[in-house]
Structure 1
């Protein structure tokens, strides 16, 4: 939603020309400037000045609802971009005016969540792998936070949300947490050859669209690919050579151990190409997933975005110990953490293979996972 406000000229003009939004921007900037004068080493002072309060979020909700008119720029943003993107699919059955409001509200929560974790040091969903990089007693950190705040209130011609959003992005950068952008753009980089092959593939010749290999990160920073990751690749290679599917999706980001420099997907691809001699154009990397839930969700996203058949089953190929979990309670964990089921499970074919059907709701943005939204 916020990207649309930045990138669509007519929508940006409508936002910048609105007196209520301009007043909010002015007030937000003044509050941040005051915090810079009085905050000292008080991290919370800086964070609270730039986060969106509940009252501010409500005010913006009401203003967007008032600005929405059938066939105006706000309606066009919803109908031509928000709804077709699938990124707010959980709201797709609501009235269009409400979709606009809910999309903004979700993005505001994403900004606040990111600041909460990576500035204030609040616990993320998975503290062991996703926590703040700075110690609360680090004397340097308040100065870095203040500098980040100063940088993001100084720019001219800003939209009302940009100081807060850019401050949150700056916090991710200071923490070395740019995982959400790893290997992007994939379509002109790591997945370019596979994408070209997809366009030439007759999927009716195969039982499955893809073979998904969930990552298994090592527990030390010097190991590039864990033994478990190697085994999973070998299991998947057997199914690929049986022509069960034309593509293998290797899935996993820079997850284990904490702040590792190695990407599970990238290392699995190297192993499959150089050791197992699987053709590079048959391997799709998904380098963002941080949990099993998002291994399947992100695979469903790639199936959709790369134009592969959504009505065809895909195959998970992995270690024996993982199959009962994926075929069993994982779906309910997805529902709890993501708000929907990103897939429908199919038949368990063996100790190491289970089918799944992708769900387009997987395109929904996850506001409280800034490293893989």
Structure 2
């Protein structure tokens, strides 16, 4: 949250919302949840956390060509359904993409150019630094197309994930939407530190604690930078308790 719950500003905001609601005419029983929904929308906006409402036409614009390509794709020609690249936000507000984020993309492009997967999925929202206006996945997509010359048909953008947990959860959802075969693994490509973390019991425990499920199953490690990943479907339904889950 941008606003601290114990601050005067936050208290005044909530008091104002309550006063406005009390002065309003009695609500129709059918719209009994409208006040709660309005409260939630205002508080999310006040904290600049409207991420889930961004990119409403994601699959009609940014990912449209990749989705159309996937619908006509012979998946069995590839050993992996996609290369998943988690974002790494910079700490400096004026920097659009961190050095580590660029490194991850370099590794992913090298593997893609070997013909091992038809897509690169870049995943990451507006995370670092706090209240940044740069979306990690959007910046990574731009770099893949502009610097590495990749076609839009091969790049899939996932701009909502905020942590490694949701990187994999949201990538799993994308693969299901694109019709990727569940028996064929994807490939997580990242730096050695994050790759080791993804394989650790700590990360598994965090998934269960925060997502209440595992986004998939890890398979064989191919290198210090890459590990196979079989997406699951237990986390693919939108979480109604997470206002940042689109």
The Cα offsets for residues 58-78 of structure 1, whole Å up to 9 and x where unpaired, read as: xxxxxxxxxxxxxxxxxxxxx
Whether 1:371 aligns to 2:241 is no
The TM-score, its normalising length taken from structure 2, stands at 0.90
- Is 1:251–1:286's contact at 8 Å kept on the other side of the alignment? yes
**Preserved CA contact (<8 Å) 2:5 2:11:** no
Partner of 1:230: helix, strand, or coil?
Answer: helix
- How does 1:323-362 map onto structure 2 within 5 Å? 323-329=195-201, 330-362=203-235
Aligned partner of 1:162 in structure 2 is: 34
CA distance in 2, matches of 1:294, 1:204: 27
Gaps of 5+ in 2: none
Whether 1:192 and 2:64 are equivalent positions in the alignment is: yes
Could you tell me whether the CA contact under 8 Å between 1:212 and 1:299 is conserved in 2? yes
The corresponding residue for 2:93 is 221
CA distance in 1, matches of 2:112, 2:60: 24
TM-score (norm 1): 0.61
1:144 CA drift (Å): 3.6
Give the 3-state SS of the residue equivalent to 1:250 in structure 2. strand
Aligned to 2:3: 133
When residues 147 and 344 of structure 1 are mapped into structure 2, their CA distance, relative to the original with a 3 A threshold, is same
Number of aligned residues? 242
Asked whether 1:305 is paired with 2:177, we answer: yes
Given that residues 342 and 358 in structure 1 are in contact (C-alpha distance below 8 angstroms), is that contact kept between their aligned partners in structure 2? Answer: yes
Instruction: Name the CA distance, whole Å, in 2 between partners of 1:194 and 1:365.
Output: 22
2: CA distance, partners of 1:160 / 1:371:
23
Q: Quick check: which one's helix share is greater?
A: 1
Q: Is the 8 A contact 2:238 2:245 kept in 1?
A: no
Q: Relative to structure 1, is the Cα distance of residues 231 and 154 closer, same or farther in structure 2, using a 3 angstrom cutoff?
A: farther
Q: Quick check: which has more Rg, 1 or 2?
A: 1
Task: Report the CA distance between 1:189 and its aligned residue.
Answer: 2.1
- Measured on the aligned residues, the alpha-carbon RMSD in Å equals 2.0
Query: Structure 1: where are the runs of 5+ without partners?
Result: 1-130
Q: Which has the higher contact order (CA 8 A, sep 6+)?
A: 2
Secondary structure class of the residue paired with 2:116: coil
Alignment correspondent of 2:158: 286
Residues in 1 aligned to 2:193 and 2:213: alpha-carbon distance in whole angstroms: 25
